[in-house]
Structure formats: structure tokens, C-alpha cells
Amino acid sequence: MEKSEKLQKILSRVGVGSRRSMEQAIIDGRVSVNGKIAKLGDRAIATDVIRYDGRVINHKDSLMVACRVLAYHKPEGEICSNRDPEGRPSVYDRLPPLNTGRWLNIGRLDLNTSGLLLFTNDGELAHRLMHPSHEVTREYAVRVFGDVTAEMLELMTKGVEIDGQMNKFDKIEFNGGEGINRWYKVFLHEGHNREVRRMFEYFELKVSRLIRVSYGDIKLERTIPRGGWIELGLNDVNYLRSLVDLPRENETFVKPVAGKKETKRDLYKKAAQIKRAVRRHKERLYEGRVKKTRSANH
């Protein structure tokens, strides 16, 4: 007998929404299976036709899809959205295609922030990691223009109210620099919009660079150029899953290096491959813009 799974779990796995939100969608009559409105508790198999708000959901082989996570080095100037009326470049432009489901960004970085951004094909993992009850500590490197006093640093960790919302850093440390431009390490686990920038702006200080360098124990590797990505191995995937009480994953798309650790030469070779891929992507974008301009002029 073909294996079945609860509807809300299938929809969550392929990235439609969190399991809880999918349960509510089923209760609200927004989900159908083979043309029949579903009810909570219904199950489906791979050959069933599932629709969400009338849209067919591609869930074929979803029961056997391995949880995957990408670490992407986001450049400044990219938006964390699939579509943009202004036509700005997106963090999704460079990601590898998926046969089933779609990539979901775990959290966001604003337009002028660069650094580590994680993606997964597992909707439940993404939604749990972004939920306030599971907020993970993130580290940022911040270059500040202005004089940061000891009193300011103390208030940043005690918390200040900005536009009716309490904002605070878990920790902030001086990280070098001379003159008016200085670097700081900022650690926080809450995810208010533009929280780091807003905190410094509150003290009339200007953030001239903002880079996310880690998400929990996942670091932004120096071998990943801006605009490049790597796929995390099974240990890192299971570390993230353990943070949000999800069962361990047993499969991975990352091929292990049999019988040996990666050498510096291996890492440099991998970095060079990623850089070439990023360069080819930029060239394709440029060629596309040139063709579009020529077409518009004719």
C-alpha cells in the first residue's frame, strides 16, 4: 500500500506554510484533494491532486524529499523576495533549481545588508526557525560612523524603546578600527525589522556596513564569495533541526569526501568554482539587460 501523510505535513514540507497555518487553512476550506474539500485529519499520497486556494501544489515524491539547507553570501543590493516591481536583483536569482518544492529563506536581510542567509526546502524547518519561541542567536559585524560611548553600549544591552517597541542587543563588543569609523560585533536573537540599524540610529550614529556573519553555529565561510552559496552537510542540517525539535535527517545531497578531510587546496578549488559560477551569472544578467535594451530601442 502506498505511503500516505497528513495534508498539513505535506503542505508544510513543500513550503506552502507552517504546519499550524496549514491546519487552519484546511479548517477554513482552502485545501482540496482530488477535487474534494479536505477536512482536518485527511491524508494524501504522492499521486493525489492537492490544491491550495485553487492552485495545484507540486508535492510528488514529497514523502521522500531530503531536508536541504543552503548557506548564501548575500551581497548588498539584493532583495529577499521572488518578485519585485522595480526589477531589482533577488537572492533567489542564483539558487539551484529544485525538482520538488521551493527554496525558502530563513529570515531576511534588508537591501543594504550583506552576509549569511540560509535557505531550505523544508517549510516546517523554515517556519520553526523564524518563530519567536525558537529565535537563534545571530552575529553581525557592524561598521559605525560616529563616537560610541560606554553609556550607549550599556543602554544597547539593557534595551531602548523605539517607536513603541523594545529593542536590545544580547551583547555588543568593540572589534577594531581607528578614528571615526569603528567595527563592532553585535549578537541578538530577536528579529525586529532593521533592528541593528535602528538601534544605532536611535543614538544618532550611522551604520556604514552591516554584515551577518553567523546564524547560531553556522558561520559565513570565507570561501563563499558574495553571490555564492554552498549546501550544508548532514551534521549542520541536523544541528539546525535539533534547535527546533525536529527529527534528524538521514539523507543528504552533499557528497562526502571519502576517507579524508578537505585540505586547504580542496577548499580553494571549491571557492574558485563558486567564483566562476557567480561570474557567469553576472555575465548572463548583463547580456540579458543588453538584449532588453536593444529590443526596446527597436
Q: How much is the pLDDT for 287? A: 58
- Backbone phi, then psi, for 22, in 5-degree steps? -70, -35
Q: What is the pLDDT of residues 18-71, one digit of tens each?
A: 788 899 999 999 999 999 999 999 998 878 899 999 988 877 655 557 889 999
Catalytically annotated residues:
110
Q: Is residue 222 part of a domain?
A: no
Among the ranges given (61-65, 89-93, 99-103, 225-229), the one the predictor scored with the smallest mean pLDDT:
61-65
CATH of the domain at 141: 3.30.2350.10
Q: Is residue 21 part of a domain?
A: yes
Q: Is residue 291 part of a domain?
A: no
Q: What is the pLDDT of residues 114-132, one digit of tens each?
A: 999 999 988 889 888 988 7
Q: Is residue 19 part of a domain?
A: yes
Confidence bin at 288 (pLDDT 50/70/90)? low
Mean pLDDT of 250-264: 58
**pLDDT at residue 256 greater than cutoff 60:** no
Q: Could you list the residue range(s) of the whole structural domain that residue 10 is in?
A: 5-64
Confidence bin at 259 (pLDDT 50/70/90)? very low
Q: Is residue 206 part of a domain?
A: yes
Q: Is residue 95 part of a domain?
A: no
More confident residue, 85 or 69: 69
Q: Is residue 29 part of a domain?
A: yes
Among the ranges given (112-126, 218-232, 257-271), the one the predictor scored with the smallest mean pLDDT:
257-271
Say whether pTM exceeds 0.95. no
- Backbone phi, then psi, for 78, in 5-degree steps? -105, 140
199, 215, 231 - which closes a domain: 215
What is the secondary structure of the chain as a DSSP string? ----EEHHHHHHHTTSS-HHHHHHHHHTT-EEETTEE--TT-EE-TTS-EEETTEEP--TTGGGPPP-EEEEEEPTT-BSSS--TT---BTTTTSPP-SSS--EEES---TT-EEEEEEES-HHHHHHHHSGGGPPPEEEEEEEES---HHHHHHHHH-EEETTEEE--SEEEE----TTEEEEEEEE----TTHHHHHHHHTT-EEEEEEEEEETTEE--TTS-TT-EEE--HHHHHHHHHHTTPPPP---SSPP-TTSPPPHHHHHHHHHHHHHHHHHHHHHHHHHHHHHHHHHH-
195, 215, 235 - which closes a domain: 215
CATH of the domain at 58: 3.10.290.10
For the stretch 95-132, what's the b/e string if a residue is b when 16 or more beta carbons lie within 10 angstroms of its beta carbon?
A: eeeeeebbbbbbbebeeebbbbbbbbbbbbbbbbbbee
190, 215, 240 - which closes a domain: 215
**pLDDT at residue 91 greater than cutoff 80:** yes
More confident residue, 252 or 194: 194
How many domains does the chain divide into?
A: 2
Mean pLDDT of 133-152: 91
Q: How much is the pLDDT for 257? A: 44
Q: How much is the pLDDT for 252? A: 76
CB 18 within 8 A of CB 12: yes
Q: What percent of the chain has pLDDT over 70?
A: 82
**What is the average pLDDT value for the chain, to the nearest integer?**
83
Residue with cell 565561510: 221
- Backbone phi, then psi, for 151, in 5-degree steps? -65, -40
Q: Is residue 38 part of a domain?
A: yes
